[in-house]
Amino acid sequence: MEDVTPFRSAEQRLADRAAKRAAVLRAAVRMFNEKGFFATSLDDVAASLGVSKRTIYHYLSSKDQVLLECLTIGLEQLLEAAAQARAEPGTGRDRLAKFLRRYAEINMNDFGRCVIRTGEEALSAESLPRYRAMKREIDGELRGLIAQAVEDGSIAPVDVKIAAFTVAGAINWPARWYKPDGAESPEKLAAEIVDLLLKGLDRPGEKHPV
């Protein structure tokens, strides 16, 4: 009969640590969204998990790091959505619609909402460059997808920069008003929002399924 060791393997310990770290970030991001970053303490986060603040410091070094990690998760979700959209077949409009729907959905989840609800003043000088670089990358992805749709004629010939600012502003706003316990799902709301936005970019007289 094979012996069963009572000791966890290195892989199990790493997985356990990752799960506990993720739990800290999930609890923190929900409090940041509900109370605001400045009104939330790590004591609050620890209490919600039934642990001590010292336990949190075992996984994350500071409140600033907790915030940066929460923001990074949301921003990485957006970058992944852009990469998936770029790989889609069809027209530039099809790829843009794919990205915008996912963008809106992300802005209604915990980490996406944190990205929109948190101002730069909450971040330390050390964290700002990474945050700003990721934001610029996402803006570049959005502009690129709009430009491709203009180039292939699947949307009207708009000013790409102004269109990106306008669309992003509309897509970001659900992070402020969306209620997780509401009647409509993020997916349904995202589809409705993107449908309205893309109608403003369509060529006169043309109809497209979103």
Domains of the chain (ranges; CATH) run 8-60 (1.10.10.60), 64-210 (1.10.357.10)
Give me the residues of the chain with pLDDT under 50, please: 1
Residue 49: name the closest of 19, 12, 70, 13 by CA.
19
Q: Residue 16: what pLDDT?
A: 80
Whether 208 and 202 have beta carbons less than 8 Å apart is answered as yes
> How far is it, in rounded angstroms, from Cα 66 to Cα 57?
10
Q: Residue 209: what pLDDT?
A: 57
Q: Residue 184: what pLDDT?
A: 85
Q: Residue 203: what pLDDT?
A: 67
Q: Is the dihedral of CA 16, 19, 22, 24 positive or negative?
A: negative
Q: Residue 205: what pLDDT?
A: 58
Q: Residue 11: what pLDDT?
A: 77
> How far is it, in rounded angstroms, from Cα 42 to Cα 31?
10
Q: Residue 180: what pLDDT?
A: 83
